[in-house]
Structure 1
Amino acid sequence: MSHLTTHVLDTTAGVPASGVEVVLTDSGGQHLAHATTDADGRTGLGPEPLPAGRYTLTFATGPYFAERDVETFYPEVTVTFVVAVADDGTSRHHHVPLLLSPFAYSTYRGS
């Protein structure tokens, strides 16, 4: 399992959001990884493990909705989060779920 995972759910349709491109960047904007959600709306990305710092996941939601002929207010969703590393050099698995609809979204610290 990747040290960083995500799960995108289309809450309007009540299904996993498959085919959403996700890009991981660091605090300086450097591209670290990209992936596309699978049939279950899940993907793993990022180097193993992520060093301590701020990171951003950008979800390409516009193309996902366009493929379904659904108008959306959010052509992309950007989520910035912090990775902490313990004194012994270990860090937790990071899971960043996205609950998505054409005119709203929410995210939370998953497990």
Structure 2
Amino acid sequence: MALFEMKWLRRFVRRHTNPIAENRAELWKRRLSIGYAILAWQAFGLVCYMVYTGRNDWAKYYGYKTAEEAALSPAQQFAKHLNVEGTGKIIRISGFSKVEEVPFDATEAKRVKE
């Protein structure tokens, strides 16, 4: 934990701000936590609504994804997006067992993209 501390930032903030009374800090902490809870609940409701109305894959719904791209698995889409070179295998694992092994050819994926 000590490795990730930014002591210079802490010193800068302490040097350039005034201390806040504990009761006032507690009040604002409570207000911010309530605001965060409301915001998180609204975001959860929005995701549920989008899934319910069939817009969970927004790129496909709004036409940014072609039918060929939609047919690819997420692993194939990521490999294509990351411009993986050459050929290889995409292995799907569930638990401790191998479920599927799909060959992947980056040159063919680039042709589909263009």
TM-score normalised by the chain length of structure 2: 0.24
The structure with higher relative contact order (CA 8 Å, sep 6+) is 1
Answer 1 or 2: which has greater helix percent.
2
Structure with the larger strand share: 1
Q: Return the TM-score normalized by structure 1.
A: 0.24
Larger CA Rg, structure 1 vs 2:
2
